[in-house]
Chain A
Amino acid sequence: MPHASVVVFATLVAVMSLVPLGFIGWVTADVGWQTVKALVFRPRVGELLVNTILLEALTIPLSIVLAVTLAWLTERTNVPVPRLWSWLAVAPLAVPAFVHSYAWVSLVPGMRGLQSGVFVSVLAYYPFLYLPVAAALRRLDPAIEDAAASLGLGPWRVFFRAILPQLRLAICGGSLLIGLHLLSEYGLYVMIRFDTFSTAIVDQFQSAYNSPAANMLGGVLVACCLFLLGLEILLRGNERYARVGSGSARPADRRHLGWFVVPGVLLPGTLGVLTLGVPLMTLGRWLYLGGTEIWRLDAVGNAFVQTIVLAVAGGVLTSIAAAPMAWLSVRAPGRFQRLLEACHYYVGSLPGVVVALALVTITVRLALPLYQTFATLIVAYVLLFLPRAMVGLRASIAQAPVELERAAMGLGRTPSQAVRQITMRLAAPGFAASVALSALGITNELTATLMLSPNGVETLATKFWSLTSEIDYVSAAPYAVMMIVLSLPLTLLLYAQSKRTAGQ
């Protein structure tokens, strides 16, 4: 097996991802136990912990129910125009979370607190679950359901006993992604005044930059991520999901909804209004109020180009960095690999500020030529979006049967040739999807970009944020529109990828 080089590469990435954690550890050791105790065990941290737990415990189950229902509707029933609904279910990804949030606050000024946080989070993030679940549903071999039905199970029980278990990987992966997003999201919760660890860290940050208080909050946040990660590993299990056998799976029949077609259309329709209608309406109003003068081409155009550049470069590099680990986690799971994988995942759940702070401090003290350079910002992006890239890649590698690799080697290919010629090709759609996902994340990344960008680099997200914080919503509108425009092709690509089955 071509392990050695892959393991080395994955280890390097893992070591890099430990930098922020090491930084927090160093600060902890530096300030001493007394200070740590005073900063961690205080009522404020308790408040934040309760907020975070409630947010996770409510948002994730709701998102699962919503995503699975929608995926089943669009993939397995005769609901009219399923293509449209499935596109609408993915489209919210093109709207940055903080734009969702702002749109709702404009519409319902009193929106705040936990319920609002859960509401907007579900709307902004459920596509992360819909995508993998719909893709998995499309690939399922209906023979298993037929077998279950022939054993006398009714349609509901077939769903819960034959279909749902096969969606486990997709649901776990997607839920983890959402869970991590909830931990690190900043802009969304600021807009609706819901305090999480990330918002509190930024508050501390703006008050005292790299204070021990900010880093201790970061430490608690890391503990939360590790907990989620462990939970996902527990729930994921290690069954095989690749189909092996003669022939190929036939497409599944679509179930006739009968009069259920009415709620079947209403549900995705309503969601479309909530996730797309509301933001577009708000933006439309701003643009109408602003007229033509808000389209200052120099500023908007400049931010647009810089955002594209960062998103593409960062997206490609993130996926390359994630690939070895994704391959290892599928092909050669083991205790050490689990550890490496954990490193890859935890780092993406750190808020941008924690990663950025570590990188700022390290570059300014130890690697001055890298301070405030493009390279450092890209490193931050790679770290922040590793989990996104991993999820897409792991799922697509898992669907490339290992038997094909072995067969290729039996026919005289070297292990690395076999991986290159078989698995890489089969996983290519997954790679493209992971580039798109990371690039999407980068397009809308705020806090790390603010801190690490080279002087004079401004992205759409940072411009939008500074203008909205100046209460200049009218001038901010073009930036939000451009973010959406930029995210659309990436979202389309994602959608197209998820429509294809692996190996085609």
Chain B
Amino acid sequence: MSPAPSAPATTGLRRARAVRWLPIAPATLLLLLFLAGPIGYCGYLAFTDMRLTGSATVDFVGFANFRRAFADPAFRNAVVLTLVFTVLSALLGQNTLGLALAALMRRASRPVRTVTGALVITAWVLPEIVAAFLLYAFFRREGTLNALLDQLHLPTQNWLFTLPILAVSFANVWRGTAFSMLIYSAALAEIPRDVEEAAEVDGASGARRFWHITLPMIRRSIGTNLMLNTLQTLSVFGLIWAMTRGGPGNRSQTLPVYMYDQAFLKSLIGYGTAVALLLLLVGSLFSVVYLRLLKVEV
């Protein structure tokens, strides 16, 4: 955006360079106003006792919101549930299932591949709230899952009540696996055929080939995918909120749902922002690791 300092740039050249970079202004302005601004404001609000209702004065309260969060069992519950939700649905669910699907598709017949791919991707493209509603119908006491279990003479239960975090995790797998599947399909397609064939000729079994040859070769994609899955799952709100509202009680209340509950239903904006700031910090940490991992060239 500025000329090299050593160059004896004339003002004319300086201006020409500035003009060249002018088109970047609208985007930058939007990003500053509506993204950097709120994040900065987040950093301020988190240290205040701002409420939606009542007192007009806003006091600076230092770290009180954070102390309060760490002392609050509901907050700790939300942290644990976020962890459970992320590990179950992103790391184990989306990532593993996505990889399995991509690997199986390379061997499957064309029609099966097409049909499976289309179904998995449809679940991904559907609007979040429609997906939430479909899985709500699937898991409800009078829903399809129980009807199926009943047919098989297996015990049924009210899934959204007994295992709400498992139900929303499954929903997130249903909705998000396509992303991993696409990443891994691309990664597997780039492995040269002859590497695998050589191992096959040497008599390595399918499982061993996969473990010792395929996995190491797509190491980078695994890292990328785990990171992106984690970041997306960290911010899931609509899916959980529409399926369970974080309930029953707070048994499926992950951090975003807890934040919403505190900031808007309980009107504690300052406190809710402190939670949001913690969420942002966790996200930033992951993003930095992710960027490092990728060693992006721009």
Task: Verify that A and B bind, or say they do not.
Answer: no
Which A residues contact B (CB, under 8 angstroms)?
Answer: none
- By a beta-carbon cutoff of 8 Å, the part of chain B in contact with chain A is none
